[in-house]
Structure 1
Amino acid sequence: MSAPTETVAAPDAAPAPAPAPVQAPVQSSAPAHSSPISDADVNHWKDHFNDVLSRPGEHINSKSPAGAGKWSTSLFDCFSPIDTCLITCWVPCLTFGKTHHRIHKSGTLEGYEPVNTSCLLFCVPGLHCILASMQRQSIRGKYNLEGTCLEDMAKSYCCACCNLIQLDKESAHREALLNNVNSEQYQKNEGMAYPGAN
């Protein structure tokens, strides 16, 4: 019977590699993407709806005070600028949300995100005419412009795209005046003039 043989490693063999240490997951320093739903906007629309529902007759019969100013843009001047016209015809909620941001948050659209609470709310079936007439009423009140609630409702229902474009242009023009910003893109063309003509 032979004696058991012992296996001896060769002196030049490399030692077995040590297992790699487990690393903790890397925390990203980038901020998490925020939701397009803003609590402030939700509360704004909720309060506005509650106010209308608590005093429907008063709202429907409301009109601008005597001496209210005229609108600087016409309802049917909706083909200029053409980009606003096209966007509003295809994706009206974007124009609605932009106008809401401009009149309630920042006249210069600072911090504006195209998809926002007002934009998403506008997509709810049956709400767009109500929201557009409320926005028109807000613009009349903020800039002291002439009109009535019944006119707001009729224009929002019968001329939906033209109404949204007018509200966008009017708010941009009024905010530019308030912030002393040049608003040439929304001014009407006065025609050509020849220098030195007698």
Structure 2
Amino acid sequence: MYSSAHGNAKYAPTGFPTAPMNMPPSHVSHFRGIASAATTWSTGLCHCCDDPANCFITCFCPCVTFGQLAEIVNKGSISCAASGGVYGLLALTGFSCLYSCVYRSRLRGQYDLEEAPCADCLVHFCCETCSLCQEYRELKNRGFDMGIGWQANVDRQSRGITAAPVVGPMTR
């Protein structure tokens, strides 16, 4: 490692910056290769009432919400139905939280989100429904229409169409 003129950043012989040796791994962006502060979630873990329809669906059939999440996080490589089906089967055994915590980690990695309020698997083990709702809201707040799947979102984006803005009550 070679020190640079830019402070604490260390550069390998390849010229790409690497994280300082004393930086904790939670602050290292694996996508940029440099230390960076993770961004906060757009909503809190317990803000399920921000989207009551999704909260209701997730409470009574979490495999639907998980399937929608997994399709977007996997960028369409696995369908909503297949992911939801696997989740449903694992729910019968009690191990669905282990499967879904992997997707929380992937989502955090894709958007450089902080691991909060605690470790991903612990969040899913203790608050499975709330964590699925939070992940759903995060993707929705990032412009995804969760009901149409990955490919339709890509098609909309390529045509320049973004998700409809949230509008307050109409008044005269």
TM-score by length of 2: 0.60
Which has the higher mean CA deviation after the structures are superposed, 73-82 or 167-176?
A: 167-176
Shift of 1:184: 3.8
Q: Name the CA shift for 1:137/1:113 in 2 (closer, same or farther; >3 Å).
A: closer
Shift of 1:81: 1.4
Max radius of gyration: which structure? 1
Paired residues in the alignment total: 122
Q: Name the CA shift for 1:113/1:136 in 2 (closer, same or farther; >3 Å).
A: closer
Q: Indicate the SS of the match to 1:63.
A: helix
Q: Identify the residue that residue 98 of structure 1 maps to in structure 2.
A: 68
> Per-residue CA shift, 1:105-161, capped at 9, x if unaligned?
35xxxxx975x121111122232111121011000000111117x611111011110
Separation (CA, whole Å) in 1 of partners of 2:110 and 2:164: 18
Separation (CA, whole Å) in 1 of partners of 2:25 and 2:58: 28
Q: Indicate the SS of the match to 2:163.
A: coil
2:127 paired with 1:159: yes
Separation (CA, whole Å) in 2 of partners of 1:120 and 1:62: 34
Where do 5+ consecutive residues of structure 2 fail to align?
A: 1-23, 29-35, 145-153
Q: Identify the residue that residue 170 of structure 1 maps to in structure 2.
A: 138
Where do 5+ consecutive residues of structure 1 fail to align?
A: 1-60, 107-111, 190-198
Runs of 4+ in 1 over 6 A off after TM superposition: none
Q: Which structure is richer in relative contact order (CA contacts within 8 A, separation 6 or more)?
A: 1
What RMSD, in angstroms, separates the aligned Cα atoms of the two structures? Answer: 3.1
2:26 to 63, 70, 93: 63
Q: Name the CA shift for 1:64/1:163 in 2 (closer, same or farther; >3 Å).
A: farther
What is the aligned-residue identity percentage?
28
Separation (CA, whole Å) in 2 of partners of 1:181 and 1:75: 26
TM-score by length of 1: 0.52
Shift of 1:80: 2.3
Amino acid at match of 1:82: P
